[in-house]
A and B are shown apart, each in its own frame.
Chain A
Amino acid sequence: MTAERAISQAIEAQIRQQQEHDEAGNSKFGFIVFLLSESVIFLSFFAGYIAYKTTVADWYPPGVTGLETKEPLINTIVLISSSFVIYVAERYLHDQKLWGFRIFLLATMAMGSYFLFGQAVEWSSLPFSYTSGTFGGTFFLLTGFHGLHVLSGILLQAFMLGRSFVPGNYENGFFGVEATSLFWHFVDVIWIILYGLIYVWQ
């Protein structure tokens, strides 16, 4: 009995250690589950957009023939490339090179901000508003909701940048940075679909 007890205690000590180490794994799993769920909001907006576009008779408001695609394309390229930049930042962090991480994270933030700036410029020059029928409504809903996500991503990155100056911040792994990066990729993927739906399919 005592021998069995000793064995079971040894096993349990191992399990405890495993679980302790796995907290970061739990967080990552939970975050992926959350992102999958979040993507359904976008999917339902996309579904709504498709339903409106295929059924509404007068899709464009009077005086509007379509959307300008050139500047949004530049925006798109910047946003998608920033996904690679944040990946490089993450690699630097894994190699314990903090300054490389900070510089590339800052570059990501700059590219994200450029995207938001470009979007604001585009919004201000549009000949229609969010009250211009379902076209105006869905356009501003989709780009606006996505823009909010970009903004949250930039804020998360700023937070991670600040945290990188805290000594001992990475003793328990890089979950915060990994989540930020994952979120940024998510925002990018959503934008690709969104760009296809709104700008390419006109």
Chain B
Amino acid sequence: MTNISLEPIDIVRGQPYPGAPDNWKRFFTFSTDHKVIGIQYIVTSFFFFLVGGLFAMIMRGELITPEADLIDRTVYNALFTMHGSVMLFFWTFPVLVGLGNYLVPLMIGARDMAFPRLNAVSFWMIPVAGVLMMTSFLVPGGPSQSGWWAYPPVSLQNPTGNLINGQVLWILAVAISGVSSIMGAVNFVTTIFRMRTPGMTWFKTPAFVWAVLGAQLIQLYGLPALTGGAIMLLLDLTIGTSFFAPERGGNPILYQHFFWFYSHPAVYVMVLPAFGIFSEVLPVHARKPLFGYRVIAASSILITIISGTVWVHHMYASATPPWMRMFFMVTTMLVAVPSGIKVFGWVATVWGGKIRFTTPMLFALGGISNWLFAGITGIFLGSVPIDLHVHNTYFVVGHFHYVLYGAIVMGIYAAIYHWFPKMTGRMYYEGLGKLHFVLTYVGTALIFLPMHPLGLMGMPRRVASYDPEFAYWNVVASIGGFLLGLSTLPFILNMVSAWIRGEKVGNNPWRAYGLEWLTSSPPSVENYEQLPLVISGPYGYGKNQPLVSNIPNPGLTEFPESLPKSLMQETTS
């Protein structure tokens, strides 16, 4: 299996790739093709999404009744720890890296990523790390129970006294996924800086590429800080140093600084690509250029910079001195500026457009509405007086799930539906897609909206049992949780059946304007027959000017013959 990969693929002369283009077996090899790796990332992380979702549904089952009767409290602790860790490190990060992997080289007109083999290595570390984290269910004492942020002194307790315990496995798994992320980030940054096709200046580069660049720059400057903190935590846990152990003279607050210096910007590592997806999907389905493209592109980099200066807003209640609180409150409010610019740009893009309510468009609009809501509660939490009251309550849980599920997961779904015809050459089933959207949107509101009143009423997070006065909203939230679990079924059915026997729709079913739509669907191994020479900026809808000088782009001005019937009716009506 691996002997194929050790030979570097000649990306310049495009030697025939071993195996037919539609051969599914290539997804189980050490392939160096960025498109194969992208799909490997997406499918693997979706598997972990289901695992993390299962944990969440068990927790929601426990929370239907106020008493802790379904599962043991320690199991509940392990479940919320694993839920958070799996969802972040093995679903949201990798799936967005996968989408970036698939799309960035196509969008910038490159034949592959800058370092194809490094790319493959980064991918294969993800399943290894994921399985390592899962094995912590098998060790004595079970998985880590200290939450996904692993604050000491809770994370240093090690009740079983074994060297191999859930917490150590957790740190190792996170470290492996961190190495993978750093290698991926180096790859992305080099690719975006140096592999753009001739003519593609910075302000002719699609907004998604800008967003990925911003996100990966955060990985580069932020992740090493978490790595440093994790090394110190591991030493405390295994050989008895005293960095974070208060009983030995250590300082647990310092860990929080290390952790949040990365893990707050990490939110932007996840949300920036989702922003990029919104910026790509909206113009296509509203048939209008992206409003304020340059500002939207530059605001991604602005977010990259500002997000490095806000981390202490997670620590207002950690004996943080008042001047520090004030400083970080101001910087936190500042992040709202570039985010608000983006939302304004998206709304103005859709305004007056010829909107097609396809599944990706619905997910994008739904994601933006959720992001707006999450942003507003984020302003609440960023201000010191409110945060001190709702700190460690369900208000926080509701807020960040609105970001992660409401905005980011919806963005991911939008991207998968939008580029599904590009990845497979086939169209998904629109009806199933809309059903998926309705279930997801309603489910998101049902589960995460009640968490806000719960938090304001004072229900603490991370508890298996609670006061009966919180019961009503918890039942509503649990119903929403099961609805979200249900919502993945039409999605899986849709993807699998459409991949096997969906309608073949040609290269550019959306009549989209962008480099990735100029090549065949699915693209050949070396992406383009000839490298495109870019002569105009992205999103030229209604401007009637060619995007590149050397590849004709049919489909933009007239309807392609292969447009699916269902879409034909919508676009002509």
Binding site for B on A (CB under 8 A): 5, 8-9, 11-12, 15-16, 19-20, 22, 25-27, 29-30, 33-34, 36-41, 43-45, 48, 51-52, 55-56, 58, 130-131, 133-134, 136-138, 140-141, 145
Contacts and interface: CB of A to CB of B under 8 A. Distances in A.
Given A33-B186, A41-B228, A15 B198 contact: yes
Given A8-B550, A20-B12, A48-B232, A137 B186 contact: no
Interface of B: 12, 114-115, 182, 185-187, 189-190, 193-195, 198, 220-225, 227-229, 231-232, 235, 239-243, 248-251, 254, 257-258, 261, 530-531, 533, 549-550
Nearest to A8: B550
Given A8-B550, A48-B254, A52-B251, A40 B224 contact: yes
A179 to B, nearest CB: 13
A140 B258 CA distance: 19
A90 B252 CA distance: 46
Given A29-B190, A44-B229, A137-B242, 5 more contacts: A26-B115, A29-B193, A37-B182, A48-B228, A134-B243
Contact of B186 (A12, A34, A145): A34
18 contacts: A9-B530, A15-B531, A16-B12, A22-B194, A30-B115, A33-B186, A34-B182, A41-B224, A41-B225, A44-B258, A48-B228, A48-B254, A130-B235, A133-B249, A134-B251, A137-B242, A141-B235, A145-B231
B232 to A, nearest CB: 7
A137 B241 contact: yes
B550 A37 contact: no
A33 B194 contact: no
A25 B241 CA distance: 42
Given A25-B194, A44-B225, A37 B185 contact: yes
A48 B258 contact: yes
A36 B222 CA distance: 11
B176 to A, nearest CB: 16
A191 B204 CA distance: 42
A38 B193 CA distance: 19
Contact of A133 (B186, B242, B257, B549): B242
A38 B224 contact: yes
Contact of B530 (A12, A26, A33, A137): A12
A48 B225 CA distance: 10
Given A8-B549, A22-B194, A44-B258, A137 B229 contact: no
Contacts of A22: 194
B241 A141 contact: yes
List 3 A-B pairs, minimum CB-CB distance, nearest first: A40-B224, A44-B228, A137-B241
Contacts of B248: 131, 133
A134 B229 CA distance: 14
Nearest to B255: A48
A25 B191 CA distance: 11
A33 B242 contact: no
Contacts of B261: 44
Contacts of A52: 251, 254
Given A48-B228, A130-B241, A134-B251, A33 B533 contact: no
Contact of B531 (A12, A30, A36, A58): A12
B114 A36 contact: no
Given A11-B533, A15-B198, A30-B114, A134 B182 contact: no
A5 B550 CA distance: 7
Nearest to B197: A15
